[in-house]
Amino acid sequence: MERLPALERLTACLARLPGVGSRTAERMALRLVRDPGGLARDLAEALTEARSRVVGCSQCGSVTATDRNPCRLCTAPNRDDGLLCVVEDPNDILTIERCGGFRGRYHALMGRISPMKGSGPDDLRIQALRVRVGQGGLREVVLALNTDVEGDATASYIAHVLEGCGAKITRLAFGLPAGSGIMYSDAVTLRRALEGRQPA
């Protein structure tokens, strides 16, 4: 097949998306350029619209509408401002919300410390967390990180960074399967893990 730089560029962009390998990116790109139903145009428009109307929440790091920043969860008046739940990924916020066992605020780190993936403390929203906790008013910071080696290392690092901040630092109780992520936990297990949280 002839080399087509435009197609190669599209493929390379798609391959940068999470969970998309080079073979899948190639198939997606071919489908996009050959689709007769206007898929490429629809996708381009949807991308442009989403990029202009959706931003990362300045407080929790989740996504929100451009004209509603901080997001609904960060501004809801009926939530406990003294309780902050720290998660790795904004998706974890949705999972915890669904289990219904938490009524405080959230802070997403946008990842975890992972030497294997070249992700260190400076790549995460740890400094933002420090500033937020430093503003005071928190009774407890719950570290709801995944239960594997990197999740544990990240939790220990944060517990160390927040030492002496005045708030109690806790972690989810055991009961979550070792090595599992928050997003794969069922609601009952997650609620129990939240209720039984222990000092970090």
Helix H segments across the chain? 5-15, 22-34, 39-53, 72-75, 90-99, 126-134, 149-161, 187-195
Residue 145 touching Zn ion (CB under 5 A): no
Containing H/E element for 105?
A: strand 105-108
For Zn ion, the closer CB: 28 or 74: 74
User: Residue 168's beta-bridge partner residues?
Assistant: 140
CB of 115 to Zn ion, least distance (A): 29
CB 139 within 8 A of CB 83: yes
For Zn ion, the closer CB: 11 or 64: 64
Residue 129 touching Zn ion (CB under 5 A): no
The contact pattern for Zn ion, residues 51-70, with x = CB under 5 A and - = no contact, is ------x-xx---------x
Out of 29, 74, 96, 99, the residue judged to bind Zn ion by CB under 5 A: 74
CB of 23 to Zn ion, least distance (A): 36
Each residue of 118-144: b (16+ CB within 10 Å) or e?
ebeeeebbbebbeebbeeeebeebbbb
Segment lying near Zn ion (by CB under 5 A), choices 11-19, 22-30, 73-81, 94-102:
73-81
Residue 84 touching Zn ion (CB under 5 A): no
**Of 19-58, which residues contact Zn ion (CB under 5 A)?**
57
Nearest CA to 119 out of 145, 153, 148 is that of: 153
CB of 163 to Zn ion, least distance (A): 26
Token look-up 């428009």 returns 45
For Zn ion, the closer CB: 59 or 185: 59
- Whole-number Å distance between alpha carbons of 144 and 87: 5
Residue ranges binding Zn ion (CB under 5 A)? 57, 59-60, 70-71, 74
